[in-house]
Structure 1
């Protein structure tokens, strides 16, 4: 199924019943027994590991959670570029995204009261190759910036509820 087929099928399903616009995603995370920082991450049928570097008390068996956050942003950008290029009928030969984040660890470790524990700044570098004009690719960038779900998570405040069980 092509991306334009997916876009049209989704448009039709939502037009028929707005209930089809909703989606729920789950991730299950648990510390690996006998470790302090290694986390088993299960999403659908996929399993991954998150861990800290040796310098931060881990065994470096996988990216750490804030690195996964950057990977989520970069990969969501790539996918959103592909979808919106199809929607705009814009030709792309390739898309690559590099994401860099700056974090002040004083927030995580509670070394100061007024330092955020999250990223203080993120830079997204996008490389698009293809036969279209710069103006068409700028139009595409604007649409991606408006519609990328993970970029929205970083830009907007998202309500999060935590339940202790």
Structure 2
């Protein structure tokens, strides 16, 4: 009898070890994520993500990550980056997909491919101030997964359901979150 080893590239033991460490010292589970966004010109901004606070102390990524944010030429902009709302879709798809990989690894399911198509509906009458009754943000967000794995359709549906249940970005989008904006 041959036992195949599942390798989706996720170190489940480390994740479970962190969960155990958090149980012993709950204060180290308190994280602060941050980014710094600087205006460049027009509707173009640049974001940098370099450090965060977690595990009870300051942490640094292995490199500083940079992101361009802009609007397309159809909005009289220069299209130097994706729009802020597209970053939200990227974040949701990335968070759910990472969850699928981690849960599949933990459940012993070998993945061959995972693709999340994320889309959202938005009426620009809201953000342009043309209709005060139209919401500024998304009216509908959809995520459609295509997953090829050594698993039954029910097991794949279970991966997606558990990923959705544990996704920070899904939670941020579906539950009210306090946001404070100040000027220094």
**TM-score interval, smaller chain:** over 0.9
Q: Indicate whether 1:86 and 2:105 are aligned.
A: yes
Residue ranges of structure 2 left out of the alignment (5+ in a row): 1-8, 51-63
String of CA shifts for 1:24-71, please: whole Å, max 9, x gaps: 110111110xx2101011011111101111121210111111111111
1:3 to 2, 8, 11: 11
SS at 1:23's partner residue? coil
SS at 1:161's partner residue? coil
SS at 2:111's partner residue? coil
CA contact (8 A) 1:7 1:87 kept: no
Q: TM-score, normalised by structure 1?
A: 0.93
Number of residue equivalences? 163
Q: Indicate whether 1:36 and 2:23 are aligned.
A: no
Which structure shows the higher strand fraction? Answer: 2
Comparing 82-91 with 126-135, greater Cα deviation is found at 82-91
Q: Partners of 1:124 and 1:78 in 2: how far apart?
A: 10
CA contact (8 A) 2:109 2:150 kept: no
Q: Partners of 1:55 and 1:61 in 2: how far apart?
A: 13
Which structure shows the higher helix fraction? Answer: 1
Residue ranges of structure 1 left out of the alignment (5+ in a row): none
Q: TM-score, normalised by structure 2?
A: 0.84
